[in-house]
Structure 1
Amino acid sequence: MLDRRRMLQAVATGAGAALGFPFSADRLLAASAQNSTPKRVIFFLQNQGFDPATCVPKGMKHSGSLAGVKLPEPISPLEPYKERLHIINGLHGKHTSPSHSAFFGALGGYRGGDGVPPSAATIDYELSNVLPQTLLPHLCIGMDSMENMTAKPTLATLSASGAGQPIFMHSNPNLLYQMLYGGISTGDIRRQHEARSSAFDQIKKLAAAKGASLPAADQLRYRQYVNGFKEINGLRERLDTVSDHLRQFAPKVDERYAQPEFETDWHDALLELGISALASGITNTLTIGSGRGEIFGAWKGLGIDQQGHNLGHMSQPDNPIWTKIRQYNSRMLEKIIDSLESIPEGSGTMMDHTLIVYTSNNADSQHTSGANWPVMLLGNFDGAFKTGRFTQLDGKRPINALYTSILNAAGVNCDRYNMSEKLAQKFDAGNGALSEVLA
């Protein structure tokens, strides 16, 4: 068991001078002295939709306690965690045009679509700016078929830092491990890390020099590339300052990395890297995209031969294929909970101050209108959310209202998230946070 206070002190002391934003041991320790603790949020989005019949307990048509009911088979691994669970049915996302996927709109609460750039920052990025700053404020990981993860190890479809500013998710655990822990590794991993770092330095310099002679429109694009490489290099330097601390959390590199038998080997490795980033204090906001926000995805390691778009045309309730996928996700959620529960923080554990948001970037199904967008919450975010509950809403509040609720719980005073008054008149029957979910 690790002492969370000493862990934060180690990170802050080593990293404070290297960061471009306020982050210091004094700040974190002052918060600890005031009996406040860092908070973190995890978003887990499964593609192809989240049918309510796979999460709403049989026979429950009205809001109530989960204590005396049995969870549906697809989420049965969460049965021991019912007191931490809140199932919400009846939110909507009709304004996001989800269909095959709402893409950036799923976490942005605005109109999305294939190839449509984000029109504003997404909720995960907004929270990463509100929660106590970390070395890497926001980490995105994406799970897909081996072919897709290998051909496109980074992809941006779900998260954004602003209008036209997508955030890339990492899908190759080898590359992500190098980014997070290459500086404390040995052998081939260390050599590859140093080679990539040197290449990034050179590319940044070349891009900066070449960009100056380009037309104004192209200069903007070049500056985005330069800033991207600058951020990668800056992260590498910041991580190097806390190398001794990170050694406690770096996952063991095994055959799953270089010689995966199935794509689920990489899925599992990516999840472990995401958990380690949370546990070590590298990040406090993690976004997981199973299917990476698109219509693809594969789970051959679960004995499922079907993949991609075909899965979206299958009914999910009582479907053994979807039961396997949803149970696999539930076991991932279980692993996150158990890992964070094992680390003391404040007067409790890291999990006591964490919120996990599980849903789909497709609302309830493929080719959906978004009229129903089921969501599961796990954890109470330091007592901010009700747990052990099922809440049935009337379909008149949008997913934006849930995001507003999370922002309120994180200390942001706002009545709406990414929704103008004009849009709200058509798509939101209320205002402010969801009283049904906040404690």
Structure 2
Amino acid sequence: MSQKSHRSNALSRRTVLKGTGVAMALPWLESIPVWGASESASAGSNPFPKRFAALFMACGINGQHWWAKGDGDDMELGKTLTPLEPFKQKLNVISGLFNKNATGVGIHPGQTGNILSGASLQKGAELRGGISVDQFLANHIGHETVQSSLVLGCEQPVTGYHETNFSMAYSSHISWQNATSPVPMEVYPSLAFDSLVENRGLKRNQSVLDRIQEQARSLSNRASFADRAKLDEYLTSVREVEKRIERLRTHQNKAVERSQQSGQPLVTMKRPDNGLPEDIREHMKLMCDIIAMAFQTDKTRVATLLMCRDISGLFYPFLNVRKAHHSGSHDDRSDDWEKVSRYYCSQVAYLANRLDSMPEGDGTVLDHSSLLFLNNMWSGSRHDSSKVPLFTVGSLGGTLETGRVLDYSDRGDENRKLCSLYLGLMNRMGLPAKQFGDAESPLQGL
């Protein structure tokens, strides 16, 4: 059966709430089969899909405060990792891994464009790298969902070339569909939300919930008491996100008008003139909320979020940090950079908390997922990518042991490949891949 036929078959067995120009997928409900896989639950098979999301921060962390020791509830976390305290039993802090093709190539773009692929990057006008792990997964399991993957970002990509003669496209994208093409990244929360609920047509500015309320009421009447409460909670969370989106949509529409009047492309305009949220906290949380709802409703099982691009110009006034992201990273042992590093960890914790609050069978959506946080370098002052900071949250349906601190620093380069981690995660998601990037075996001890 073709991939298109697979996707059509999956869609035909789904329950969605439909209204004028909108189709809203539903979370897993015990009393009503809303997913195609749910029919198999009675036969004793696991109806819950495994999900993977990669969240990226650039330019390193404060290495003095990035550490962990111990296991499970007894795990101790360094200052930067403290936002993850509630998830110690579901957390793996992994140190010492590296991406060989991101070393010895110069700073920034060559350390970023292959962070999820492990490929050797080509300099000059022609882009050439490799497919990223999220798109490798999407190619194999994406036919089972409405969207094969979700690729989001909180900064517009930049163009041109770095002093190292690498294209800045490598600094702006972590998701690559093949060796020469990055996946188009959605940076506007309103458009990402519209894609999530298939909000189309002339009524896009009207509430999606108002348009599906009759179907929602009918479904609620057929659901069990527990599922009725779950459905109400889900619709309430959608409404809350939608309200936050409404104001941003107005700003975005005005930005489009300004762009048309001035003849200046949106992508070259500065925040907030380009319609992106001025407060990066609002932007990141909305993108995390959209990933959470996409996973909860099985809209997709694969997502990436570029929280900031390499050589980022983001500012953090809410942290009382004066320097922009990139310049601040050059003082990576400072208290200010520790605040920035900890803030990014808090965003992963926010997404983990959202997923962990979504019941799914005997566990939660987080229990059936793996969130991967990673950075392209250890030290921003030295541009040191000989090891990368990373951690995972979630056990992929119990297939990934958690509550551990794993250190590969002294195991030799062949045994500390970042792509070996990706291969191990792929295998746990049902892909029998034996090679990915520069790895020919999964990470030992994972």
Taking structure 1 as the reference length, the TM-score comes to: 0.69
Instruction: Name 2:194's counterpart in structure 1.
Output: 178
SS of match in other structure, 1:111? coil
CA deviation after TM superposition for structure 1 residue 291, in Å: 1.3
2:243 is the counterpart of 1:253: yes
CA shift, 1:121, in A, is 1.1
1:45-66 CA distance string (max 9 Å, x none): 1011245443213xx5xxx525
2:430 counterpart of 1:414:
no
Change in Cα spacing, 1:352 to 1:136, as seen in structure 2 (3 Å) is same
Whether contact under 8 Å (1:77, 1:327) holds in the other structure is yes
- 1:151 maps to what in 2? none
Q: Which amino acid aligns with 1:345?
A: E
Tell me, yes or no, if structure 1 residue 111 matches structure 2 residue 120: yes
Does 1:71 pair with 2:90? no
* Match of residue 360 from structure 1: 375
Q: Distance in 1 between matches of 2:153 and 2:52?
A: 17
Matched pairs, number:
348
Residue from 61, 82, 88 that aligns with 1:82: 88
- Note if contact 1:94-1:369 (Cα within 8 Å) is conserved in structure 2: no
Out of 375, 385, 389, which is 1:374 matched to? 389
Match of 1:134 in 2: 145
1:146 and 1:108 map into 2 onto residues whose CA distance is 19
Runs of 5+ unmatched residues, structure 1: 1-7, 19-23, 149-154, 192-243, 425-430
Give the alignment's Cα RMSD to 1 decimal: 3.6
**In 1: Cα distance, 2:205 partner to 2:234 partner:** 15
Query: After the TM superposition, which residues 324-339 of structure 1 pair with which residues of structure 2 at under 5 Å, given as runs?
Result: 324-339=339-354
2: distance between equivalents of 1:413 and 1:174? 37
In structure 2, the CA distance between the partners of 1:355 and 1:109, relative to structure 1 (3 Å rule), is: same
SS of the residue 1:390 aligns to: strand
Q: Is the 8 A contact 2:61 2:338 kept in 1?
A: no
1:340 and 1:349 in contact (8 A); partners too: yes
Q: Closer, same or farther in 2 for the Cα pair 1:174/1:81, shift >3 Å? A: same
How far the C-alpha of 1:293 sits from its partner, in A, is 4.0
Looking at structure 2, the residues matched to 338 and 129 of structure 1 have their Cα atoms a distance apart, in angstroms, of 28
Q: Which residue identity does 1:313 align to in structure 2?
A: H
TM-score when scaled to structure 2?
0.68
Partners of 1:144 and 1:298 within 8 A in 2? no
Q: Deviations over 1:125-160 (max 9, x none)?
A: 112233462111211221238999xxxxxx951111
What is the identity percentage for the equivalent residue pairs of Structure 1 and Structure 2? 22
**CA-to-aligned-CA distance 1:2-34 (integer Å, 9 cap, x gap):** xxxxxx99972459xx9xxxxx95445336741
Corresponding position: 1:303 with 2:320: yes
Once the 2 structures are TM-superposed, how far is the Cα of residue 398 of structure 1 from its aligned partner? 1.4
Superposed displacement of residue 72, structure 1: 1.1
**2:362 is aligned with 1:347:** yes
State the alpha-carbon separation in 2 of the partners of residues 32 and 161 from structure 1. 37
Match for residue 267 of structure 1? 284
Describe the shift of the 1:331–1:343 C-alpha distance in structure 2 as closer, same or farther (beyond 3 A).
same
Partner SS state of residue 95, structure 1: helix
Partner residue, 2:420? 401
- Distance across 2 between alignment mates of 1:10 and 1:348: 27
CA deviation after TM superposition for structure 1 residue 246, in Å? 9.1
Q: Is the 8 A contact 2:332 2:338 kept in 1?
A: no
| Amino acid corresponding to residue 293 of structure 2 in structure 1 | S
SS in 1 for 2:290: helix
Describe the superposition over 1:157-181 as per-residue Cα deviations: whole angstroms up to 9, x where unpaired. 1111112121022212233233334
